Structure 1
Amino acid sequence: MSTERPYHHGDLRQTLLVAAVEMIAENGPAQLSLRDLARRAGVSHAAPRHHFKDKAGLFTALAAEGYRLLAEALADDLALIELGARYVGFAVAHPSHFEVMHQPDRCHLDDPDLLAAKARAWDSLRAGLPSTLDDAEANRAALAAWSIAHGFATLCLTGNLPAAARDRDPAEEFREIAGLLDVDPD
C-alpha cells in the first residue's frame, strides 16, 4: 500500500478554504491548525503554507472571502432594513466566515484583498442610506445600522435570542424588530 498522497487536481486554494470553513464550524478557529487542514484536504502538510504562508494568512483569505460574500448579499438596491436582514441572513448562512471576519487579531489587517473586500461591503451597506445625508451623517447612520444587524446576528449565532425568536426565520425576525425602530416623531 502506498503512503503517498494523490496529486491534487483543481483549485487547491479554494479546497483549503472550504476545508477550513468546515473545521471552524466543527471546532472554532482557535482549534484549526494548518497541519490538520492539510490532512483534511488530503494534501502534504506544506501545501497550506504555499497558499497562505501562515495561519493568519488563511484567516485573512477567509475574512476577505466573507466580506466579498457579504457585499454580494447586500448588492441590490435595498432599503436599510432589508440590508440588515440580508446581513443577518449572511451571518446565519456563513457562520465560520462571520466569526473570522470579526476577529481582526487573527488576520493580516493590511492585506490589500481584505481591505478591498471590506470597503466593498461597507459601500454596499451605505448604498441603502438616504442620499440627503452628508458623508459624516452617512457614516454614523451606516455604523448604527451595522451595529444593530451585527448584534442581532451575533445573538442568533450564539443561541442568545429568546425562545420565541429562535423558532422564526432570523432575517424575518430582524425585519420585524428593526421595523419597530422606524418611529415617526409626528
Structure 2
Amino acid sequence: MQETQPAPAVRDGYHHGDLRAALLDAATEMLEAGASFSLRAVARHANVSQSAPYRHFADREALESALAVRGFHELRGRLSQGGRLAASEAELTEFAVAYVGFALQHPAVFRLMFGQPCDDRNDERVLAAGELHTLLEDSISQVYAHIDPAPLATALWALTHGLAFLHLDGKLTADSPEAVAVRVRDAIAAIRALPTTPASA
C-alpha cells in the first residue's frame, strides 16, 4: 500500500525576526512582475500563513509604505556609497547616473516610491524621503560652498527624475546601462556648459 506523503507545512513564523523581510521580498517580486497584490496574496507568495503579514502590516497601504521606505534606503545607499557626500561635480553627476540606474533596475518600486502621494501619516516614509533630499542638498553644499543649495538641488533632482521617467516610459531608449549613463552624463554636462549670460543680440 502506497503511503500518503504529508503536505508541506506552511511556514507560520520566521526565526530571528526575518518574517518582515521575507514579506517585503515577496511583495517586491510580485510588484516587479506586474501582479496586483494583497496581504493574503503576499502571504501565499512568501509561503507563510494568511495571518502572518498582519504581525507587521495593518493593511496593504502599510505594506506599500514599507516597500517605499526600503526603496528610499536602498537608493540613498547607492547615491552616497555608504553615507559619503559627493565631493566634486563629477561625483554629483554620478548621483544622477545611480538614480536613473536604480529606476530602471526597479521600475515598479520606483513608481511606488515617487508615483504616488507620500503618506504623511507614515513617519518612517516621510523621514526616508526627506533623507534622500537632504543628502542631495548636503552634497551640493559641499561642492558649491557659497550658494544656496536648495534651488540647485531642486533643479538637479528635476532633471534627473525627468530622465528616469523618460526612460521608464519609453520616450528615451534604454539600450544598455552604459548607454543610459552616457546620456545622463551628457545631459548634465550640457546644462553646466550653458553660458551664465545670454549672447547679445
* TM value normalised by structure 1: 0.85
| Alpha-carbon shift at residue 123 of structure 1 (Å) | 1.2
Q: What is the aligned partner in structure 2 of residue 121 from structure 1?
A: 132
1:99 match: 111
Distance 1:22 1:133 in 2: 43
Give how far 1:177 is off: 2.0
**Local SS of the residue matching 1:144:** helix
How many residues align structurally? 178
Q: How far apart are 1:38 and its partner, in Å?
A: 0.6
Task: Confirm whether residue 175 of structure 1 aligns to residue 182 of structure 2.
Answer: no
1:14-163 pair list within 5 angstroms: 14-27=21-34, 31-75=36-80, 76-78=84-86, 79=89, 80-105=92-117, 108-129=119-140, 130-134=144-148, 138-162=149-173
Q: Which residue of 2 aligns with 1:166?
A: 175
Q: How far 1:33 sits from its partner (Å)?
A: 1.4
Runs of 4+ in 1 over 6 A off after TM superposition: none
**Percent of residue pairs bearing the same amino acid type:** 33
Cα 1:61–1:127 shift into 2, 3 Å: same
Letter in 1 for 2:175: R
State the shift of 1:149 in Å: 0.7
RMSD in angstroms over aligned alpha carbons?
2.1
Give the Cα–Cα distance (whole angstroms) in 2 for the partners of residues 84 and 120 of structure 1: 16
1:67-112 deviation per Cα after TM superposition (whole angstroms, max 9, x unaligned): 111211221332332221121122123223211101334x632212
Rg (Cα) greater in structure: 2
String of CA shifts for 1:125-147, please: whole Å, max 9, x gaps: 1133222123xxx2221111111
Matching residue's letter, 2:172: L
Contact 1:155 1:161 in 2 (8 A): yes
Q: What is the alpha-carbon distance in structure 2 between the residues aligned to residue 158 and residue 184 of structure 1?
A: 28
Q: Distance in 1 between matches of 2:37 and 2:154?
A: 31
Q: For 1:128 and 1:82, how far apart are their aligned partners in 2?
A: 12
Q: 1:65 is aligned with what amino acid? A: R
Gaps of 5+ in 1: none
